[in-house]
Structure 1
Amino acid sequence: MSLKLYVDLMSQPSRALYILLKHVKYDKFMPTLVNLAKGEHYGDQFTAINRMQRVPVIDHNGFILTESVAIMKYLSRENIIPDNLFPKETKQRARVDEFLAWHHVGLRIHCAMYFRTTFLDPRITGTQPNPKTVESYFRRMENALQDFDTKWLGRGTDFITGNSITIADLMAACEVEQPRMAGYDPTEKYPNIAKWLPMVREYFNPHYQEAHVILNKVVAKQQKQTAKL
């Protein structure tokens, strides 16, 4: 059965699913790029696939599914994601589900909105962001990162749900990477994130690095421009 994944690697959950399917070496996996910057997700062709006009989306031999967490749960039930990354044992699975239920509003939205307000929207509209709006999203992001650093990490285990890495770590890592494009690196302020993130990157390499090539190029370009000031 073929598995087509519609993604834009500037999208955090897109990167997580792309890395995951590359890592597990699912040989029927076919990535299909959707360029959000060019508005391809608003076109009739993609809207026919996902009425919500978002990525990621999978087409698993004709079965179309949206929303990254729902996709991961489905891929686990289809035995495409191995048990070590998404455990089937009830209590271990519950710990992963617990984080996934929290992260969308607890971490993702805050990192994403700071990135969007300070980096993405100004490039799309050509206008500078409102300083009060930026400050508001900055505070929310830092509160979220503080909660993640102290309430999910730093509890005596290497990873979010214990000493074994799971998809919870991959999802969170892709979110934490996003504000780096806006000039904010969480590893510089939060010690548990600084310890944890390199381990996640290493575990999923080389595919983690591959999925973050564009992001890292943006970061490197900004650092070079800053150094000239």
Structure 2
Amino acid sequence: MPTLDLYYMPSPGASRAVIMTARAVGVELNKKVVDVFAGEHLNPDFVKINPQHTVPTLVDDGFVLWESRAILMYLAEKYGKDDSLYPKDPQKRALVNQRLYFDLATLYAAISGYYYPAFSTGKFGTPEAFKKLETGFEFLNTFLEGQKYVAGSNLTIADISILATISTIEAVDFDLSKYPNVERWYANAKKVTPGWEETRPGLDIMRALLLLLIAMPNLDLYYLPSPGPSRAVVMTAKAVGVELNKKLLNPKLGEHLKPEFLKLNPQHTIPTLVDDGFVIWESRAILIYLVEQYGKDDSLYPKDPQKQALINQRLYFDMNTLYEAFASYYYPLLRTGSYGDAAAWTKVQNAFELLNTFLEGQDYVAGGQLTIADISILATIATIELVDFDLTKYPNVAKWYANAKKETPGWEDTLEGLLSRKHLFDAKKPEFK
């Protein structure tokens, strides 16, 4: 038996075509998975074998070959018991070759051009790309008019290669009934091609991955890890179960004033969320949007008008009273090196007294469960982690704060960002209230 190593991934059609052809000619493959998504195709030992670092790659007792269709031809010529899979007759062979090139340049290009962007963007291609896909299937439907196989009167490597390519439709929702000749050929090809069932699980892997990717939103968050508004967005995203593509924006370097960011947000504030082209800023508006768009239920921002109104009131209280008080007293340090005046300190005390009143007999700031009002206010008053602030004067707030840190998803994830500014405040500890 020959020693044939196949470096491959189980889901792509190119790899599955090689496996089916090997089965058709009766050779065994030592299959070695190369995880392209993990960058294993760029490992030096693989690049040494194949400097183009593509899969599948076949190594036959030291002879190295890549490009799946070239591998199919090689396997059929070297190990085929006859020439039925790849005829020696020049005209029959020419027809098989034409179909192989059509497969690569038209069918595979169209399928990959429309479906494969989902692996990097989470979305399928453009309407123009889908039109190319339809055109490819229309051509194949024409080729198969009155034909049982794609290149002649028997199964060839052209059938195997095209079968592997278009079987991607089983991983997506594609209506093959519009192409009756292809549909008839496809049903038969799956029955007569050796190794089809062996490679079928690879399609299941692809379908599961594509369904996962296209279900995931593409959310870019322009943020800083330390300010409360950014942390509130990160915690809310965690609560609703969406991933954020976090893009650090450093105002000290003027990155918020660069033309490309101003084009997104002319107010040049952070955090700013971009959801597939939809741009929204002001953290509390972002929190509402995330829950309404991606929440599995409305618990974080109920649809009931009275419950929602109470949350809205607390969000405005957070922005206009709590956050404003903190910003007036503590944040001047970051610009001037000193804290705000006595009037600013009074605002802080008044804000906490009001919050303490709101929380009398309450576990949450707006109703009987955790909401985005809790998350937003938690992000705001967590500034006390950086300063010598006596929260015991406000027992209701202290109790709520301890519980909110336990219950809020993402609190631990944002803590490092919060504490990253602690050294700035530590230098002024003697001046704290």
Please say whether Structure 1 and Structure 2 have the same fold, judged by a TM-score greater than 0.5.
yes
1:110-125 matched pairs, under 5 angstroms: 110-117=110-117, 119-122=118-121
Q: TM-score, normalised by structure 2?
A: 0.45
| Structure 1 residue 38 displacement after superposition | 2.0
| Structure 1 residue 141 displacement after superposition | 0.7
Q: Partner of 1:125 in structure 2?
A: none
1:2-13 matched pairs, under 5 angstroms: 2-13=3-14
CA contact (8 A) 1:100 1:168 kept: yes
- The 10-residue stretch of structure 1 (78-87 or 14-23) with the greater mean CA deviation from structure 2: 78-87
Output the amino acid matched with 2:17.
A
Q: Which has the higher contact order (CA 8 A, sep 6+)?
A: 1
Q: Partner of 2:286 in structure 1?
A: none
Output the amino acid matched with 1:190.
Y
| CA distance in structure 2 between the aligned counterparts of 1:164 and 1:102, rounded to whole angstroms | 18
**Residue aligned with 1:163, SS:** coil
Percent identity over paired residues: 26
| CA distance in structure 1 between the aligned counterparts of 2:75 and 2:202, rounded to whole angstroms | 26
Structure with greater Cα Rg: 2
| Structure 1 residue 33 displacement after superposition | 1.5
| Structure 1 residue 212 displacement after superposition | 2.0
| Structure 1 residue 164 displacement after superposition | 0.9
| CA distance in structure 2 between the aligned counterparts of 1:95 and 1:81, rounded to whole angstroms | 21
CA contact (8 A) 1:7 1:57 kept: yes
1:62-211 matched pairs, under 5 angstroms: 62-80=62-80, 82-117=82-117, 119-122=118-121, 128-129=122-123, 133-150=125-142, 152-154=143-145, 156-185=146-175, 187-205=176-194, 207-211=195-199
| Structure 1 residue 101 displacement after superposition | 2.3
| CA distance in structure 1 between the aligned counterparts of 2:39 and 2:169, rounded to whole angstroms | 22
CA contact (8 A) 1:112 1:178 kept: no
- The 10-residue stretch of structure 1 (93-102 or 74-83) with the greater mean CA deviation from structure 2: 74-83
Q: List gaps (5 residues or longer) in structure 1.
A: 123-127
**Residue aligned with 2:79, SS:** coil
| Structure 1 residue 96 displacement after superposition | 0.6
* Superimposed CA distance per residue, residues 128-170 of structure 1 (whole angstroms, 9 cap, x where no aligned partner): 44x8x421211111111111111x211x221111221111011
* Structure 1 residues 120 and 188: alpha-carbon distance in aligned structure 2, compared to 1, 3 A threshold: farther
| CA distance in structure 2 between the aligned counterparts of 1:57 and 1:48, rounded to whole angstroms | 12
Output the amino acid matched with 1:182.
V
Output the amino acid matched with 2:198.
E
* Structure 1 residues 217 and 102: alpha-carbon distance in aligned structure 2, compared to 1, 3 A threshold: closer
Aligned length: 211
**Residue aligned with 2:36, SS:** coil
CA contact (8 A) 2:107 2:133 kept: yes
CA contact (8 A) 2:69 2:161 kept: no
